[in-house]
Structure 1
């Protein structure tokens, strides 16, 4: 069954910051937030304007046959210059966004992608794949000077669900399909991909695949890898289309070569993905803990049980206070369950009981089922609202010259307590030494597994006027050393990009690096695809 729905975009995206331009906090709210962090500016930095960037003429022109797919509009080019990390936002605020792409292309099919790659290769034009532009690791920008020009290849014109196999619960979907449009097109079939990263509204299926994204759900099928049946990828050496299969033991997986390749090996154009029935029964609860170590033990027990919560997110006391989930110094465990065919209240009751056995406190009535019209847990609602609003608040704090950013990792359970303590201590000490002001370093667990967990850290500190990016890079380097020492991954779901390259190079085995470089040379012999990502 074919899909026909296009992707609506009635609101204006912010070119310099997260999300929608009309959703950013105003000057007064920015000032009020900045007052909570000693050492920040007295007034917010002005919202940057594209006309102040002095964008010149493009260094290349497409042939007439491709001109209808390409834009040289300065606003379009500025909006495709960077991702949405703190360092990107701060660079924009200071009018230093880096290399502006010369052109922005929006192909409508695989042939358009192939034609653009052929032209770019002939002209030595770097091609930077671009989905929703929500990268927070420098994955969608050009850093270098070895290419004649830079083309941002925006896939969002390829935004349709092409085919749905309802019996097999799968769909063939174009890579440029944004999260909301994807779910809107699946909804009439009663199906869902059930992949909801925080960037869901502003990211695409292709971006999720190219970065091995993790969704909102804490257990089970949470990485996009687990949802893939097959991929179609256009490379300068030809198009790779794998068979759609439920499973295969036929040698190394061709899909695995391109999952996480971040556009350095080819452009993912479409995929068959596994779907699920849309859930009808949902229930949630928030359990408080006085002792964070007790909470960690409770979460490990839940991850190793057969309960499989959809959400099992542990907030330390600072994170709980920041989100409004608790203000009494407690850590908070946010639990959620869902099902398409049966009530989930019994599983929630069991999970709350298990958490209580480790010292958890729950004052509500466990087992509320949203399908039955019951109200949800207030603390869970507060956390959910803060979760969606947080990137906008980060940008507001950036306007006050504050460091306000996150990073994430994953490690096995035996290393989790020491890892969290070391990050808090060493990053906090580095920020105090660099700024003279104390920093806040909060932690939450976003994903949990029977053998480990994914800690996610928030850093709030005063910046140094005009040197905020350099300061954040210093703190991130300290964090990277801690992660490496504890054998924790440099990223659980945010990808490598350019910002994580040094730590990724240390993490990966050298024989694999050798194979990856060989694959890059074979598939992209002219070196035009996302230069600097994954390999040199």
Structure 2
């Protein structure tokens, strides 16, 4: 029996925290209520009356429960609003196409009727990417019925995959061929190939092919102006890349319906360990040397003392580096030894190399997968628990880390009236830089949690922009990151993007407010 998806929070209902677990976690943050907020039943939520009466020939529903579950993504502010039953902007209807022709017909109808269309994959957006905030009638287009691997090319190691395939569904279909896409974001279970492509998603692996961009061979993309399909090629210098235009377009230019994706042989050899450091300065130097050594570890997660303690990887005030290697063709212990030798040369204390996995690495993995459910449980206790991520070059990493921690900590203190936790880990590392990922935990006030988090988020966007760090490394732009994106994006490119939008979506129906202002 397939577990039931949560309509208001992350993942499946069977893995949500119990009331007692929420209370126990709430006790770690002073000033929270004694009991968690009740989870509303979707049947009890009041939605606005639908303004749409689409033709019966289209695969569209106005079922209240379906509309409710497609109102928001899964950011902290989304979870809090859903918990409060606050859904005034619910979609007027939800479309569930089962073929590409359905997508074409839906866009044709919406364009003629002036109906906004917001593409929806797994709904795991944490940046307001699937939530329309205007006053027009709107349709949420759920692509998850387009979930088949249509063709596999074992010679080239590639597959033609429909965009609505959730991560596990996709992997299940290529596994019999001994292949894998090897793209595992934290949202893997609850996000789709199309969503990864539309947001330029980052995967779990810390080096080499870190983003979905690297795995695209060609794409098929439906716009109101027509269907675009690029050629299957290993590489091409033929002008600006059409795939690069649509990658990261976040539903503003069209709808991804399928793509040819580069696959890999499934790994047979794996090994991992952890290394502890006395401070972030020495740990950062070690990670930089590892990133520039050309050894390409699959995992290279550096946890600062707060993050290490939160995940259970260390309770001694140390930084923890989690290293992992894998291969489909040869044993990897030698490569792991090279990596740990580099870490040891910078003062790192390496865990015992015997055995496949040590306790710190296992603790981090468990906490990583459990964290979204913990976030929801803490939200029920009116705590503020959210993340944001960035990337910068190595020459600025230490400054960004120290400044963000200090200034976001100060913002939390000002907004909440009490100190909070601001923890950091490096999720991805490159020869020229790293991607710091920050977790904020603080006491909120019942009914004011969204406004409080928005104030902290505003402070985060300001400091990142001032330091020249990206507004997002892999969470996308959506609506929540628009102010920071407007600052980062060159104005000539903004002019070009507006022109492309006008050419491909002349009625301005596709996901208005994302990337650029609506027409």
Question: Shorter-chain TM-score: which interval?
Answer: over 0.9
Distance in 2 separating the partners of 1:403 and 1:57: 32
Identify the residue that residue 136 of structure 1 maps to in structure 2. Answer: 126
Distance in 1 separating the partners of 2:419 and 2:33: 16
Identify the residue that residue 339 of structure 1 maps to in structure 2. Answer: 327
Distance in 2 separating the partners of 1:156 and 1:167: 28
From 110, 124, 131, give the equivalent of 2:114: 124
> Secondary structure of the equivalent of 1:347?
helix
**Cα deviation 1:36-62 (Å, max 9, x = unaligned):** 001112211111222332124321111
Distance in 2 separating the partners of 1:433 and 1:63: 52
> Secondary structure of the equivalent of 1:209?
helix
> Secondary structure of the equivalent of 2:349?
coil
CA contact (8 A) 2:252 2:514 kept: yes
Distance in 1 separating the partners of 2:384 and 2:482: 22
> Secondary structure of the equivalent of 2:437?
strand
**After the TM superposition, which residues 456-471 of structure 1 pair with which residues of structure 2 at under 5 Å, given as runs?**
456-471=437-452
**Cα deviation 1:197-225 (Å, max 9, x = unaligned):** 00000000000000000000000011000
Identify the residue that residue 423 of structure 2 maps to in structure 1. Answer: 442
> Secondary structure of the equivalent of 1:282?
strand
Distance in 2 separating the partners of 1:114 and 1:241: 14
From 86, 105, 116, give the equivalent of 1:115: 105
CA positional deviation for 1:436: 1.8
Distance in 2 separating the partners of 1:531 and 1:231: 23
> Secondary structure of the equivalent of 2:244?
helix
From 350, 360, 364, give the equivalent of 2:338: 350
- RMSD after superposition: 0.9
Structure 2: gaps (5+ residues): none
CA contact (8 A) 1:88 1:97 kept: no
CA positional deviation for 1:112: 0.6
CA contact (8 A) 2:252 2:511 kept: yes
Identify the residue that residue 60 of structure 1 maps to in structure 2. Answer: 52
Identify the residue that residue 290 of structure 2 maps to in structure 1. Answer: 302
From 492, 495, 500, give the equivalent of 2:481: 500
CA contact (8 A) 2:270 2:356 kept: no
From 170, 180, 187, give the equivalent of 2:158: 170
The answer to whether 1:515 aligns with 2:507 is: no
The answer to whether 1:261 aligns with 2:228 is: no
Identify the residue that residue 191 of structure 2 maps to in structure 1. Answer: 203
From 376, 399, 403, give the equivalent of 2:380: 399
Distance in 2 separating the partners of 1:376 and 1:425: 34
From 159, 175, 182, give the equivalent of 1:187: 175
Distance in 2 separating the partners of 1:63 and 1:293: 62
Return the TM-score normalized by structure 2: 0.98
**After the TM superposition, which residues 33-52 of structure 1 pair with which residues of structure 2 at under 5 Å, given as runs?**
33-52=25-44
CA positional deviation for 1:98: 4.0
The answer to whether 1:411 aligns with 2:392 is: yes
**After the TM superposition, which residues 267-282 of structure 1 pair with which residues of structure 2 at under 5 Å, given as runs?**
267-282=255-270
CA positional deviation for 1:383: 0.7
Distance in 2 separating the partners of 1:280 and 1:533: 41
CA contact (8 A) 1:231 1:242 kept: yes
Distance in 1 separating the partners of 2:359 and 2:85: 41
CA positional deviation for 1:518: 0.3
CA positional deviation for 1:64: 2.2
CA positional deviation for 1:485: 1.0
Identify the residue that residue 63 of structure 2 maps to in structure 1. Answer: 73
CA positional deviation for 1:194: 0.2
**Cα deviation 1:99-156 (Å, max 9, x = unaligned):** 11111111111111000000011111110100000000000011011x2x21110000
From 2, 17, 21, give the equivalent of 2:9: 17
CA contact (8 A) 1:286 1:379 kept: yes
CA contact (8 A) 1:317 1:329 kept: yes
Distance in 1 separating the partners of 2:210 and 2:260: 17
> Secondary structure of the equivalent of 1:491?
coil
The answer to whether 1:156 aligns with 2:144 is: yes
Distance in 2 separating the partners of 1:285 and 1:216: 17
Distance in 2 separating the partners of 1:285 and 1:168: 33
CA contact (8 A) 1:16 1:79 kept: yes
From 362, 365, 379, give the equivalent of 1:381: 362
Identify the residue that residue 306 of structure 2 maps to in structure 1. Answer: 318
From 494, 510, 515, give the equivalent of 1:529: 510
Distance in 2 separating the partners of 1:184 and 1:50: 31
> Secondary structure of the equivalent of 1:177?
coil
Identify the residue that residue 5 of structure 1 maps to in structure 2. Answer: none
Aligned CA distance change for structure 1 residues 79 and 354 (closer, same or farther; 3 Å):
same
**Cα deviation 1:69-122 (Å, max 9, x = unaligned):** 111111111000000000000111222134111111111111110000000111
Higher mean alpha-carbon deviation, 95-104 vs 260-269, is at 95-104
Return the TM-score normalized by structure 1: 0.95
CA contact (8 A) 2:46 2:85 kept: no
